[in-house]
Structure 1
Amino acid sequence: MLSRILTALTVIATASVVVAIPVEQVKRGTEIAPTIQVCSGAVGASGCISIPVVSDACINFVGGLTFLNKEVSAVVVPGGFVCTFAADFGCDIAQGGGVVLTSGTWSMAKVPGTAGFVNFNDQASSFTCSPL
């Protein structure tokens, strides 16, 4: 019994602690990193989160971002970036489709596709951004 308690205490003591860092404190060198705002509702509503843009990194809506999986309704892409939203995890648009958005505020209900505007509301599972 004592060994189980010690094992449990060891696991608790060595567990990683995740701390939320305000976006203003996320920095690259001496500059504040740009962020993309992703929303499960309208921009400015309670379901929005700002995510630091890490160039060419695929962000899957898992873990702390699970609430956004297949729930993204609006995004604000920072100036100077292009972001690709994919219907599947892994940012692969060939499998499940996706949309490419340049800087600005977008309602996912009407975003540019290859043959005109498309409805990509509540379809995204991942995204990646790159500088223009």
Structure 2
Amino acid sequence: MVHTHSYKFKSLVAVLGLVQLALAGPTLSVRNTDSSATITVCADVGANCVGLPVVSDSCLDFTGGLTFLNKAVSSAVIPGGFVCTFFSQFECTSQGGDDEVVLLSGTWNFFDVPGPSSPDENFNDLASSVSCSPI
């Protein structure tokens, strides 16, 4: 015999947990991070920022709690010893050309980043995903 009250209570607790997670904003909890390294990505230069854990060679789409970053990234801070590639497409895919930028450690203003065809590329408000790894 199944106790429907117990089942309903467990379902309610699960739903409340999801609501709490959704209301918490874009804080992420990811396993297998690289030494607790994080990159900081900002929707405006130096403002509206969020710290994202570095997970080697994993793609992070700017969806869900990170939707505010989709096509809105203007700056990033990448810790020493890491390289990050920002893509204009989801799933860290590239059509080739100017739809991605590769950035080494440092503080970057996306109005002026090194691109594949120009040393001074404007990649502001173009990123939809990112992938990072240690150098």
Judge same fold: TM > 0.5, yes or no: yes
TM-score by length of 1: 0.78
Return 5+ residue gaps in structure 1 as ranges. Answer: 1-5
Q: CA deviation at 1:12?
A: 2.9
State the number of aligned residues.
123
Output the CA distance in 2 between the equivalents of 1:64 and 1:26. Answer: 14
- Tell me how far 1:73 sits from its aligned partner: 0.2
Contact 2:26-2:66 at 8 Å conserved across structures: no
For residues 63-122 of structure 1, give each alpha carbon's deviation from its aligned partner in whole angstroms, at most 9, with x where no partner exists: 110000000000001110100000010001226711000000000011101222211000
Q: Give the match for residue 115 of structure 1.
A: 117
Give the aligned partner of residue 13 of structure 2.
Answer: 13
Change (3 A) 1:128 1:74: same
- What is the RMSD of the two structures over their aligned residues, measured on CA atoms? 3.2
Counterpart residue identity of residue 40, structure 1 = A
Unmatched tracts of structure 2, length 5 or more:
1-5
Q: Quote the Cα distance in structure 2 between the aligned partners of 1:48 and 1:87.
A: 19
8 Å CA contact 1:26–1:32 kept in 2: the answer is no
Percent sequence identity over aligned pairs: 45
Other-structure match for 2:3: none
2:99 to 59, 75, 97: 97
Deviation, 1:20, is: 6.9
Judge conservation of contact 2:25–2:65 (CA < 8 Å) in 1. Answer: no
- 2:94 maps to 1:86: no
Partner of 1:39: 42
Distance across 2 between alignment mates of 1:92 and 1:126: 9
How far apart, in 2, do the equivalents of 1:125 and 1:22 lie?
Answer: 18
Amino acid in structure 2 at the alignment position of 1:105: T
1:3 match: none
**CA–CA distance in 2 between the matches of 1:21 and 1:66?**
9
